Structure 1
Amino acid sequence: MKYITKAIWILSIVSLLTDTASEMLYPVMPIYLKAIGFSVVLIGVLEGVAEATAGLSKGYFGKLSDVMGKRVPFVQLGYTLSAVSKPLLALYAFPLWIFFARTLDRFGKGIRTGARDAILSDEATPATKGKVFGFHRAMDTLGAVIGPGLALLYLYIYPQDYRTLFLIAFIPGLLAILASLLLHKEQAGFSTPKAKINFFSFFGYWKYSPPAYRRLVAGLLVFALFNSSDVFLLLKIKQAGLSDTAVIGIYIFYNLVYALFAFPAGIVADKIGLKKMFIFGLALFAGVYFGMSANNSLYVYLLLFLLYGMYAAATEGISKAWISNITNKQDTATAIGTYAGFQSICTMVASSLAGLVWYSFGASATFIFTGVATLLVIVYLLLFVTYNPDTSMQQV
């Protein structure tokens, strides 16, 4: 564990606390939104817009972090905005206000993500990227176990009291802000020519990025184009007749699996190769979506969410580790942010499209469509994308 430095520990604890706050609300959000009049289509649009905001701002602020040569201020500001957004959700039930509060949360995520991932990358070597990103994802996702657990306990005592839950979620968010202050404010360790950038200037990175980056990201973006929000998985099991408690319980189970497998997946990925681990994860994803297309029992849903947790562990941190290993160190935040920017557009389309397909053809069509598309992405990665990290790129 000597490769888990102080900075990695701090970032991981901050992420754990923030995810505790966010995930207290995530599994109840679709239930709450439907209760105040949101349709399935509008929920899809909300999630799409929120994720698009996060992704596009990841690109801009990732580029800005590289240009300024600073990381910590972006991390601290981003976590602060996300924490503040939680109690705002409790103030009003108007759709526009909900859009604003949810978007503010995602905007905070966009500000911090590129800089945070760049710090993680700087603290690792090409041979330990899987472990480092896996450890961070494990800690982050542990918050996704604690958060829903607290929500489940609270709603058991105070059924349907969602607004108070939004206020309670501010507490771990505030602790995350305080923990982020332990990070040392220092230069990122390199100098980049200063240039005026606009909100979309990070897209220019695509033109001069390494060919290996473009090939990989092309496949990841096609996958993102069909990978809608997890809200639809929760809606599916809710539609199957499960109680609110069961829905939250299954979501906790999924995140527990994710948290337990993320670090081991990173260790294995460093040994067998990030590409093999990532493709394994996509195969699990396809299997889960095909399984979700049918009406199943509680036990089958538990199995599917077990596999879904393993998929997340095998892909989320691994994709960032892969990207950081095939790009220049001084462009790490830009590279990850550019991918996130393009991904945000795809995610917005994916969530909106999923809502429309669900509304027009039913839930089964939505999941089958995504499963087939994922299999095509696997074929593309196997045939056209290689994993040959250039360690010289990781030198300052």
Structure 2
Amino acid sequence: MSRPIGAASWPVAMLSALRALPRTVWLLGCVSLLNDAASDLVYPLLPLYLATLPGAGAQALGLIEGCAEAVASLLKLASGVLADRHGSARPWVIGGYGLAALTRPLIALASGWPMVLALRVGDRIGKGLRSSPRDALLARSVAPAQRGLAFGVHRAMDNAGAVAGPLLAAALLGLGVPLRELFLWTALPGALTLWLIWRVPETPVIAAPASTAPAPAAGAPLPPALRRYLAIYALFSLGNASNLFLLWRAHELGLADAALPLLWALVSAVAMLGSAPLSGLSDRIGRRQLIAGGWTLFALVYALLGWPGLPPAGLWPLAALMGLHLAATEGTAKALVTDLAPAADLGRAFGWYHLISGLCLLPASWLTGTLWAAHGAPLACAWAGGCALLAATLLAFTKH
């Protein structure tokens, strides 16, 4: 068992651990930073953009995001399985980032919400092609004791891009750039992403096996402990609707349009700063309690978000708490998948993880949007928080 790290020596130990991470982790992190700078320039502006299109509202927003993620998740399983079968993840990663870079700027041409739906689906198809192979590539590049930190660093750089994108969007809005033209700016980081992704090497299996069980035959069931974790994760995901509902609530409460990207930037900034330390902490104290705590924090955020008396100023601390939830759970959840899956089957394991997340996002976003439109924010937020709190309780008390 690792010895506790004192407060004085912790920064030195963290710096040493970061330096020990392989080049693949940093390259994939830079790719995610650029890609998310483009994606999150668009993401916080979608509620505003949809409000200018005929027939769009909270329900259309839920349908767009739910369908986009559901389609992506189906491809995440297929790409993960095929990458495992052919022993090569890199082509899927290149193709996925390339498709997203090509489709994202075309949102500027949309004349109605169905076209936005089609383009968001195209963007998410790219995500579906790349996500599971990329996560398997990352997991196989590090030793077991580095998993939490490696995924935390990747999430931190991903969230750094998610800070840069909204800040650029806010700056351009402040300069009076028309909303449609902002989507065209995503072409620049998209091109840089394509240039960088070609420099990511194929990573051989150098880590120790993720479990002591023998590698399963093709099509064999996933390990029971992984299946239990994925079932609990599905329950959480049924309440984890699109994060755009946070921005939708901000719009309802009268927050200025130019402040919406800044609100989302705050979420991403807290997640960026906290991802590496918290995910790295899971390498030492265990992953389940940290994830359960993050899900409990999510439930608290949504309970307060649905409070009828919430003032607009209250959105800022809630955004910071949402970022803390993401920091505690995103990288740690992927590290737990790696812990529970056979090393040769990581693509399929991550495929199921992403599939569950995306397929549950469709009913979660649709139901949240429907409840929101029919009964208002309190009931919709109570549903989201209730699912998270139940999932946190089950995870905290479920044995491996």
**Is TM (by shorter chain) over 0.5?**
yes
Contact 2:341 2:349 in 1 (8 A): yes
Contact 2:97 2:130 in 1 (8 A): yes
Residue 116 (1) aligns with residue 104 (2): no
CA distance in 1, matches of 2:203, 2:384: 43
Quote the residue 1:201 is aligned against: none
Contact 1:293 1:364 in 2 (8 A): yes
1:208 counterpart letter in structure 2: P
CA apart distance, 1:217: 0.4
1:235 counterpart letter in structure 2: W
- Listed one character per residue, the Cα deviations across residues 94-140 of structure 1 (whole Å, up to 9, x for unaligned) are 33322221111100001000111011101112211110000000000
Contact 1:205 1:334 in 2 (8 A): no
CA apart distance, 1:186: 6.6
- Secondary structure of the 1:90 match is helix
| Worse overlay, 245-254 or 92-101 | 92-101
CA distance in 1, matches of 2:116, 2:396: 42
Contact 2:137 2:203 in 1 (8 A): no
Quote the residue 2:338 is aligned against: 324
CA distance in 2, matches of 1:18, 1:64: 24
Quote the residue 1:390 is aligned against: none
Matching residue within 239, 246, 264 for 1:251: 264
Matching of residues 20-59 of structure 1 within 5 Å? 20-37=37-54, 38-59=56-77
Residue 184 (1) aligns with residue 201 (2): yes
CA distance in 1, matches of 2:113, 2:312: 33
| Worse overlay, 270-279 or 15-24 | 270-279
Contact 1:30 1:235 in 2 (8 A): yes
Matching of residues 87-106 of structure 1 within 5 Å? 87-106=105-124
Quote the residue 2:289 is aligned against: 276
Quote the residue 1:70 is aligned against: 88
CA distance in 1, matches of 2:139, 2:203: 16
Fraction of identical pairs, as percent: 34
CA apart distance, 1:297: 2.4
Q: Unmatched 5+ residue regions in structure 2? A: 1-17, 208-216
Kindly report the root-mean-square deviation, in angstroms, between the aligned alpha carbons of the 2 structures. Answer: 1.7
Contact 2:141 2:205 in 1 (8 A): no
Quote the residue 1:195 is aligned against: none
Residue 238 (1) aligns with residue 251 (2): yes
Contact 1:55 1:340 in 2 (8 A): yes
Quote the residue 1:338 is aligned against: 352
- Secondary structure of the 2:144 match is coil
CA distance in 2, matches of 1:376, 1:364: 18
1:268 counterpart letter in structure 2: L
Matching of residues 140-155 of structure 1 within 5 Å? 140-155=158-173
Contact 2:295 2:325 in 1 (8 A): yes
CA apart distance, 1:45: 0.5
CA distance in 2, matches of 1:68, 1:93: 41
1:266 counterpart letter in structure 2: S
CA distance in 2, matches of 1:12, 1:327: 23
Residue 9 (1) aligns with residue 23 (2): no
Q: 1:163 to 1:277 in 2, by over 3 A?
A: same
Matching residue within 359, 363, 372 for 2:373: 359
Residue 306 (1) aligns with residue 313 (2): no
Residue 373 (1) aligns with residue 387 (2): yes
Q: 1:30 to 1:207 in 2, by over 3 A?
A: farther
Contact 2:99 2:122 in 1 (8 A): yes
- Secondary structure of the 1:143 match is helix
CA apart distance, 1:62: 0.7
Contact 1:3 1:132 in 2 (8 A): no
Contact 1:141 1:258 in 2 (8 A): yes
CA distance in 2, matches of 1:5, 1:186: 10
Q: 1:248 to 1:127 in 2, by over 3 A?
A: same
Contact 2:30 2:157 in 1 (8 A): yes
- Secondary structure of the 1:229 match is coil
Quote the residue 2:192 is aligned against: 175
Contact 1:206 1:214 in 2 (8 A): no
- Listed one character per residue, the Cα deviations across residues 184-218 of structure 1 (whole Å, up to 9, x for unaligned) are 2576689xxxxxxxxxxxxx988611110001000
Contact 1:40 1:359 in 2 (8 A): yes
CA apart distance, 1:258: 0.6
After TM superposition, which residue ranges in structure 1, 4 or more long, deviate above 3 angstroms? 185-190, 204-207
CA distance in 1, matches of 2:383, 2:356: 21
Contact 2:238 2:387 in 1 (8 A): no
Q: Unmatched 5+ residue regions in structure 1? A: 191-203, 387-396
CA apart distance, 1:375: 1.3
- Listed one character per residue, the Cα deviations across residues 118-175 of structure 1 (whole Å, up to 9, x for unaligned) are 111011122111100000000000000000000100011125x122111111100110
CA apart distance, 1:91: 1.9
